[in-house]
Structure 1
Amino acid sequence: MLWSASLCVVFLVPSLGVPVDRYSTKGQQKLLLISFDGFRWDYDRDVDTPNLDTMARDGVKASYVTPPFLTVTSPTHFTLLTGRYIENHGVIHNMWFDVNTGEKVPYYATQFKTEWWDNGTLPIWITAQRQGLRTGSLHFPGTQPRYQGESQTVKDVEPGFYNYKNETKWRQNVDKVMETWFGEMDLDFVSLYFGEPDGVGHKYGPDSPERREMVGQVDRTVGYIRSSAEHNGLADSLNIIITADHGMSNVYRNGLVKEITLSKIPGFSFGDVSFHLLDYGPAGMLLPKPGMLETVYKALKGAHPHLHVFKKEEIPERLHFANNNRILPIILFSDPGYVINGFFPVQFNAGEHGFDNVEMDMKPFFRAVGPAFQKNLEVGPFETVNIYPLMCHILGIMPESNDGHLDVTKHMLVSATEDRPQDFRRNVSVGLAAVGGCLVVVVAVLVSFHAFKKETNYRGSEGSVRPGSKEESPQTAL
């Protein structure tokens, strides 16, 4: 009996420290993930941004966030959707390529290469739907393919030669998401992509008046998004996260620096290379011909003071850009301000991204607002892999395996300061009540047992059964 009482206490006392799961918002709170491509962390410092400022006062602002390396559009967006570093989710470049045929296709065409995206890692759209939610995606990189045969509830892929700068189209897209997708269709999660200020940052540079003008357009759109949420009755249920895939850095040209052109490096020959991804900014990859890896590597290593050359097994672990078969044996990237040319320069952008993610110019911005988030809170920097578990938590779904941690962002949530202390006291009360109830039952059983035992002993002394008779002594089952 004492053992039974102890066992009851052992099982119930731990409930004092195990919170009742009252933080799941599944089916209660909606989430809109927005990316403004190439919006650097400091773009609001030289432009009047009243709507972004209001959003920060009404919610959470991070000083900046750190994207994964390689800091280009498709890979970094897929990290937002999966919470995995690029080597782990496998979308390693903006371009699909085939080393056997030498074929390469550009960014837009790569959006339709299902095998490039669907390679074992599930984006949040599919995970949420498998757990009973409804999802949509508009123009977000990775929207078009199906994943393990499944697709979003609704999706919209931009047409070819789409004008990413058209503000009227931006508002039409917001109306579609707010009125139709969240309103009429009652979706739970939507990802929404805008292709600026990346375009003007490339063409004119991050310090240009054109970029500042585009930031003003972004700010107006943020105001329109929030007013549309209010107008459609979503203010009390919709959480909005706004971020970007990477930043932007000025490119030095016109004789200001010694440019990096591989064909001019002594000892290097494209005849020793069977495939290469070059001329697309500050990063590249090479596949040397059989037996030529050391020759290519030694020719390039140290050839230019602003060119970094690694065998993929030697690349710094912090970059998480090695452990994938799609990554080629030699990886190159340059310092900010420099781009890597193959035979000769073929692109002349004033701004570029794709540099080391430790560089401040590569850091994007982050804002969040809604019923799940605290107000007027500024937080320190964090990696964008941590946005995925935060989104899963808000949606109340179980995340897939990922490289992020909710502990990094949970202090942004209202539950971190309000719900949890109250729930802990509630859990203590529930636990104590349960233990007390169990002890009452144990005591009652003990009293009954001793009374029964006393009665049995009394009857046995009055009329014992003779030895050898067919009737046996009464047994008490414990």
Structure 2
Amino acid sequence: MKMRLELFLVITAVICASSNPLNKAAGRKKLLLISFDGFRWDYDQDVDTPNLDQLSKDGVKAKYITPPMLTMTSPSHFTTITGRWVEDHEVVHNLMFNSETNLKVPIKQTMTRSEWWDNGALPLWITAQNQGLKTASFYYPGGGANYSGQAVNRALVLEYGHPDDNETEWRENIDKVMSWFSEEDFHLVTMYYGEPDSVGHAKGPDHPDRKVIIKQIDRTIGYLREAIERHHLTDSLNVIISSDHGMTTVKKRPQVDEVVLNKYLNLLKLTSFEILDYGGFGIIKPRLGKEQEVFDALSKVPNITVYKKNEMPESFHLAKSERLPPIIVVGDLGFNLNSRFIVYVNKGDHGFHNGEMDMKTIFRAFGPDFKRNFLSEPFDSIHIYPLMCKLLQIEPAPHNGSLAVTENMLLNSGGESTTVVPEPTTTEKPTGGSQTTHLSVALLLSTLLLFIFTGL
């Protein structure tokens, strides 16, 4: 009887162990998110891009995605990595600013300033780390900050003056990231490239050099796929390729009159803070009691739209921001804002209304969890966050996106339709149904064994 009981206990333990679901970390796929800054949705349509074309056959392509309002690098990237609207995460500009002290910090210098990024919205790196995953940021905006004292496991920060277009370095960076996945078991890496934004600003989106950079990006994607295979990551690494905003040609004299706001109001007399010489998006803090006067004067300026912050369209998702000052100015497409005189030299720019097609961006995805040859209808970039959480098998932090918008891209979604319809925000939570079923089977088998070995 004693021998029978010991044998029963051994077999029961084996059954229970085998019936439990596999450890999630053991079977978990890895994820690489790559952002090519300023890659407009149609940049691959006038250039020979064999590798991007192949991606459309081997994975998922969206017709385009819509960045958040406002269409700038830091706000848009942080929306992608948090799944929160700009009014929620409060990274409301590329410049770090304080409208009370007149502080203005250039974009590259903000990358390690945690007080600019850490406003309560938790980025994916930290959420993943808190659930046992290993994460890294390679030049991605926000990766160099701390969040409630927590830092990304590994973060490389882009320094001022670093060249954006060195193809050799691009490949070296890919090799480095692949080794992080294959040799150091990182689960999530976010990677940032500063092109084609730089060439778009300097020479305009229609310049031949922009096409040269797109070809370089295409070669880099080809190199990425080779590197994935070389590091034996084909069956374990999902890849999402995206961008933060598009680019449009800046309208300049002598063809058009450029916007100079001081012609219409005395900025020194009526305002105490401004950021106006920076693309198509401007912010103004009127002096006490001057808000209506400033608003009325700006309403007469051609080629711009002026908003009181609390009266902005709900679709902007900016009105609740505590950081933004009371007056917001948005230039018509291609019309850069100038404060007192014309200082802006860029041939191309962004920061304009996110409904403009020139502000739309790309989305590509491939890997073991994605369907092949799948064309998605357009969607907002905010929905990328819950998709990434699904791929990493983690519980999301509170966010404004919806997995329902993107999960039909996945092999296990079961859907065939390419139409996506945004739904109200939900934070998806994993269920315990599968584990309960396995445990019930184990208990049933154990009971049967008990009858067999005890003769009851």
* Separation (CA, whole Å) in 2 of partners of 1:394 and 1:103: 40
**Residue 284 of structure 1 corresponds to which residue in structure 2?**
282
**Residue 355 of structure 2 corresponds to which residue in structure 1?**
358
* Separation (CA, whole Å) in 1 of partners of 2:401 and 2:327: 27
Task: Report matched runs for 1:123-272 at 5 Å.
Answer: 123-179=123-179, 181-265=180-264, 267-272=265-270
**Residue 451 of structure 1 corresponds to which residue in structure 2?**
none
**Residue 444 of structure 1 corresponds to which residue in structure 2?**
none
| Contact 1:135–1:189 (Cα < 8 Å) also in 2 | yes
1:161 deviates by 0.9
| Contact 2:118–2:145 (Cα < 8 Å) also in 1 | yes
| Contact 2:144–2:152 (Cα < 8 Å) also in 1 | no
1:270 deviates by 2.7
Secondary structure of 2:147's aligned partner: coil
Q: Which residue, 406, 411, 416 being the options, matches 1:414?
A: 411
Alignment length (residue pairs)? 404
**Residue 319 of structure 1 corresponds to which residue in structure 2?**
316
**Residue 31 of structure 1 corresponds to which residue in structure 2?**
31
* Separation (CA, whole Å) in 2 of partners of 1:24 and 1:409: 22
Provide Cα deviations, 1:410-446, integer angstroms capped at 9, x if missing partner.
100000128xxxxxxx99xx79x99xx9xxxxxxxxx
Secondary structure of 2:397's aligned partner: coil
Return 5+ residue gaps in structure 1 as ranges: 1-19, 419-425, 438-478
1:110 deviates by 1.2
Compared CA separation, residues 25 and 351, structure 1 to 2 (3 A): farther
* Separation (CA, whole Å) in 2 of partners of 1:140 and 1:21: 35
* Separation (CA, whole Å) in 1 of partners of 2:21 and 2:93: 40
Task: Report matched runs for 1:110-125 at 5 Å.
Answer: 110-125=110-125
1:178 deviates by 0.3
Compared CA separation, residues 268 and 230, structure 1 to 2 (3 A): same
Secondary structure of 2:146's aligned partner: coil
**Residue 46 of structure 2 corresponds to which residue in structure 1?**
46
Partner AA of 1:56 in structure 2: S
Higher Rg of the two aligned structures: 1
* Separation (CA, whole Å) in 2 of partners of 1:67 and 1:176: 29
Partner AA of 1:138 in structure 2: F
Secondary structure of 2:334's aligned partner: coil
1:234 deviates by 0.3
Q: Which residue, 275, 298, 303 being the options, matches 1:300?
A: 298
The percent identity for this pair of structures is 48
* Separation (CA, whole Å) in 1 of partners of 2:266 and 2:318: 24
User: What value does the CA root-mean-square deviation take over the aligned residues?
Assistant: 2.1
Structure 2 length normalisation: TM-score? 0.85
| Contact 2:125–2:152 (Cα < 8 Å) also in 1 | yes
1:24 deviates by 6.9
Secondary structure of 1:242's aligned partner: strand
| Contact 1:247–1:353 (Cα < 8 Å) also in 2 | yes
Return 5+ residue gaps in structure 2 as ranges: 1-19, 416-432, 445-456
* Separation (CA, whole Å) in 1 of partners of 2:158 and 2:76: 19
| Contact 2:108–2:159 (Cα < 8 Å) also in 1 | no
Secondary structure of 1:257's aligned partner: coil
* Separation (CA, whole Å) in 2 of partners of 1:223 and 1:42: 19
Q: Which residue, 364, 368, 375 being the options, matches 1:367?
A: 364
Which runs of at least 4 in structure 1 moved beyond 6 Å after TM superposition?
Answer: 20-26
| Contact 2:99–2:325 (Cα < 8 Å) also in 1 | no
Task: Report matched runs for 1:378-393 at 5 Å.
Answer: 378-393=375-390
* Separation (CA, whole Å) in 2 of partners of 1:334 and 1:45: 27
**Residue 340 of structure 2 corresponds to which residue in structure 1?**
343
1:348 deviates by 1.3
Structure 1 length normalisation: TM-score? 0.82
Provide Cα deviations, 1:82-141, integer angstroms capped at 9, x if missing partner.
001101111000001122221211110111211000111110000000001000110001
Partner AA of 1:95 in structure 2: L
Q: Which residue, 257, 273, 277 being the options, matches 1:275?
A: 273
| Contact 1:25–1:394 (Cα < 8 Å) also in 2 | no
* Separation (CA, whole Å) in 2 of partners of 1:24 and 1:278: 50
